[in-house]
């Protein structure tokens, strides 16, 4: 051998540098700006891509090795789950409804994140940024697949999970998460990573995955806690990437600061509104509860987010504009959301219910400032109506916020008894919003948001009926026609949990034993 | 100074890592929830390879912690010997 073997292995930082800088080159047949055409039009100025440092410095060999181990561990548990009647082990069949919401609303976003990171993993000029985004793209595909595999075991036994892909593009409440990601995907690459890597992954994702997955464990759902924490082990890498992206962009040029601040304002608010669904999962849908939405917001929002924005203040960055309002709303968010789904329980692809006595006491304890005064009486009124055989189902359609697409259910920040309405005029049309922040997002980019596919508008325009349906027929039932278009199994997927097939089956499986 | 934190799945792989962190960082506090353990520490938190190796009795690659990691906060700096989480202010 001519070459003397090196005595010591390369260190982590050197190995990572060889993978990124070492394998990258400047193009000569084509100018770099033609090879990477999307990184200039958003106004972000980058002077030196080599300043990008991925803190985890994972090399490809290590990446495949660790991801392979995670998969083996996960699939061993999924096999054990399937072989040992794991679907029977959950605390109560009401719990399954959180999984329905998850597969309908969250898993499709994992797939969109895979696509989004594949795109920016090609388009960024810097090799380290591309490598980090490509790994994340593979991670996100893994998350989508593992969630489908895990939930498929429940789909064999429970309703409301069989057609989630079809529903995600059509059903009224699923346009909330769908439009969130479509909004990010149709932005430029820098806005996309600020939206998803920073605002969603770093600032908000703990609120979704950490207390909720711990709640899945507490409710005996071995499958979900396993895919959840397996995904979350990648998430830690994504979160550090999110923080690195922000520091890198801010340090490159002072002119980037106001652009990034505006994106933070926008994407914090967009992401927070999507988490409305999570707030009611935690407070109302978990039969055995681990933490209230309010407590989760205090730990992962106020404390953790507070520390983050305190740290970023040295760049001239302040907390996102909607931060204070989110803090005020922590006493109200989950109650208002669940009350709305209770109303529209005939049109939802999961079951709803009024809280049990035990649930109500827990809610009183966790929400001393709001539950007994504002929300307990409302649920008790509905409970009383249901007892008399008059379970309330709202059959009219709500007005939606043009930006977040959530029905106008939120109250004024200063008055929790008054619904908050805002509006803007644009090109002689009127647009409606649930909050000042959603209005401001629209006002800054009206040409984008006038294209929103708002489910209620689409229903009224006649775009949500199956081909051949005649809306002029004398016995035409518009609500039923929309639910047919959704491919809902009417009477099985919808309505109250009380009396549902899920409830009956669960009781029978447990009563009769093996 | 704000707190940094790191959370792990509650299992046998994580136990020596958690013990090492608690010993190496005197201000660190652990909080257990179902299936997970979160460790909070003011300002900075260090994970040292040697301390984990002393407990598991074999060579340990610090990147192995990624298998059981749930979440973390703060700026991260990692080399072969230690991983540090910190806030700058």
Cα–Cα dist A326/A300, whole Å: 12
What per-residue confidence (pLDDT) applies to A92? 95
- Interchain pair A308, B73: CB under 8 A: yes
Cα–Cα dist A167/A437, whole Å: 28
Check whether A513 has a pLDDT greater than 50: no
What per-residue confidence (pLDDT) applies to A514? 40
pTM above 0.90, yes or no: yes
A355 domain-assigned: yes
A41 domain-assigned: no
Check whether A65 has a pLDDT greater than 90: yes
Check whether A443 has a pLDDT greater than 90: yes
CATH of B3-86, one of 3.40.720.10, 3.90.56.10, 3.40.50.720, 3.40.50.1820: 3.90.56.10
Picking from A53, A58, A251, A307 by the largest number of B CB atoms within 10 A of its own CB, the best residue to mutate is A307
What per-residue confidence (pLDDT) applies to A7? 62
Q: Is A237 on the interface with B (CB under 8 A)?
A: yes
Residue B39 Cα, gap to closest chain A Cα (Å): 13
A138 domain-assigned: yes
Residue pLDDT, tens place only, A364-390: 999 999 999 999 999 999 999 999 999
What is the rounded average pLDDT of the residues A36-59?
A: 91
Mean pLDDT per segment of 10 residues, for chain B of length 89 residues?
Answer: 92 96 97 93 96 97 93 91 91
Ranking A12-26, A37-51, A440-454 by mean pLDDT, the lowest is A12-26
Buried b (16+ CB within 10 A) or exposed e, A9-19: eeebeebbbeb
* Residues of chain A contacting B9 with CB distance shorter than 8 Å: 229, 233
Question: How deeply is A157 buried, as exposed, middle or buried, from its count of CB atoms within 10 A (0-12, 13-18, 19+)?
Answer: middle
Closest to A353 in 3D by CA, of A226, A137, A498, A473: A498
Q: Between these two residues, A426 and A52, which has the higher pLDDT value? A: A426
Minimum-distance CB partner of B34 among A57, A73, A290: A290
What per-residue confidence (pLDDT) applies to A13? 85
- What value of ipTM does the predicted structure carry? 0.89
- Interchain pair A291, B9: CB under 8 A: no
- Please give the tally of structural domains in chain A: 1
Answer yes or no: are the C-beta atoms of A100 and A160 closer than 8 Å: yes
Cα–Cα dist A341/A280, whole Å: 10
Where exactly are the structural domains of chain B?
3-86
Check whether A55 has a pLDDT greater than 90: no
**Domain that residue A398 falls in:** 49-467+479-512
Residue pLDDT, tens place only, A314-324: 999 999 999 99
Residue pLDDT, tens place only, A486-511: 999 999 999 999 999 999 999 999 98
A6 domain-assigned: no
> For residue A374, what is the domain's CATH number?
1.10.620.20
Task: Please enumerate in sequence order all residues whose Cβ is within 8 A of that of A347, keeping only pairs 6 or more positions apart, or say none.
Answer: A172, A479, A482, A483, A494
Residue B23 Cα, gap to closest chain A Cα (Å): 23
Picking from B29, B37, B61, B78 by the largest number of A CB atoms within 10 A of its own CB, the best residue to mutate is B78
A4 domain-assigned: no
* Edge-to-edge strand list for the sheet holding B44-48: B44-48, B82-86, B75-78
A21 domain-assigned: no
Instruction: Please provide residue A289's backbone torsions phi and psi, each rounded to the nearest 5 degrees.
Output: -100, 145
Closest to A177 in 3D by CA, of A88, A275, A251, A255: A275
């Amino acid at each position: 051998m001519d070459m003397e073997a090196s005595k010591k292995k390369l260190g982590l930082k050197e190995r990572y540098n060889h993978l990124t800088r070492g394998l990258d080159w400047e193009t000569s047949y084509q100018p770099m700006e033609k090879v990477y055409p999307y990184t200039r039009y958003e106004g972000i100025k980058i002077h030196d891509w080599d300043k990008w440092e991925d803190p985890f410095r994972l090399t490809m060999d290590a990446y495949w090795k660790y991801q392979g181990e995670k998969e083996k561990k996960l699939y061993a548990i999924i096999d054990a789950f399937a072989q040992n009647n794991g679907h029977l082990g959950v605390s109560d069949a009401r719990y399954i409804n959180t999984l329905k919401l998850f597969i309908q609303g969250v898993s499709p976003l994992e797939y969109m994140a895979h696509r989004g990171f594949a795109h920016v993993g090609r388009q960024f000029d810097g090799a380290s940024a591309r490598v980090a985004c490509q790994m994340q793209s593979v991670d996100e595909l893994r998350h989508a697949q593992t969630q489908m595999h895990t939930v498929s075991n429940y789909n064999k036994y429970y309703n409301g999970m069989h057609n989630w892909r079809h529903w995600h593009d059509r059903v009224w409440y699923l346009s909330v998460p769908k439009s969130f990601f479509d909004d990010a995907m149709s932005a430029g690459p820098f806005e996309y990573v600020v939206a998803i890597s920073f605002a969603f992954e770093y600032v908000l994702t703990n609120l979704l995955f950490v207390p909720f997955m711990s709640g899945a464990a507490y409710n005996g759902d071995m499958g979900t806690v396993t895919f959840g924490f397996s995904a979350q082990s990648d998430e830690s890498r994504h979160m550090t990437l999110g923080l690195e992206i922000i520091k890198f962009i801010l340090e490159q040029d002072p002119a980037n600061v106001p652009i990034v601040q505006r994106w933070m304002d926008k994407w914090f608010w967009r992401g927070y509104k999507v988490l409305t669904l999570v707030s009611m999962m935690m407070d109302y849908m978990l039969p055995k509860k681990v933490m209230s939405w309010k407590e989760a917001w205090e730990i992962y929002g106020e404390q953790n987010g507070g520390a983050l924005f305190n740290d970023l203040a040295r760049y001239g960055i302040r907390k996102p504009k909607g931060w204070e309002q989110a803090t005020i709303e922590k006493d109200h968010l989950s109650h208002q959301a669940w009350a709305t789904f209770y109303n529209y329980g005939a049109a939802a692809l999961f079951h709803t219910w009024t809280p049990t006595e035990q649930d109500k006491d827990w809610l009183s304890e966790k929400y001393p400032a709001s539950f007994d005064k504002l929300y307990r009486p409302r649920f008790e009124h509905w409970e009383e109506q249901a007892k008399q055989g008059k379970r309330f189902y709202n059959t009219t359609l709500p007005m939606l916020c043009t930006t977040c697409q959530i029905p106008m259910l939120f109250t004024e920040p200063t008055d929790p008894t008054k619904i908050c309405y805002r509006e803007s005029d644009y090109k002689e049309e009127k647009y409606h919003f649930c909050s000042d922040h959603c209005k401001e997002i629209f006002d800054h980019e009206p040409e984008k948001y006038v294209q929103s596919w708002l489910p209620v508008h689409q229903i009224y325009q006649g775009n949500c009926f199956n081909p051949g349906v005649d809306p002029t027929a004398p016995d035409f039932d518009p609500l039923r026609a929309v639910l047919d278009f959704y491919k809902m199994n009417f009477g099985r997927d919808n309505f109250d949990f009380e009396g549902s097939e899920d409830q009956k089956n669960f009781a029978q499986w447990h009563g009769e034993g093996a | 100074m704000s707190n940094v934190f790191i959370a792990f799945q509650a299992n046998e792989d994580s136990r020596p890592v958690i013990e090492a962190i608690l010993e190496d960082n005197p201000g660190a506090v652990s909080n257990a929830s179902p299936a997970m353990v979160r460790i909070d520490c003011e300002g900075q938190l260090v994970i040292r390879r040697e301390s984990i190796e002393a407990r598991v009795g074999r060579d340990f690659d610090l990147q192995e912690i990624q298998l059981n990691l749930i979440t973390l906060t703060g700026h991260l700096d990692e080399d072969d010997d230690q991983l540090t989480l910190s806030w700058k202010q």
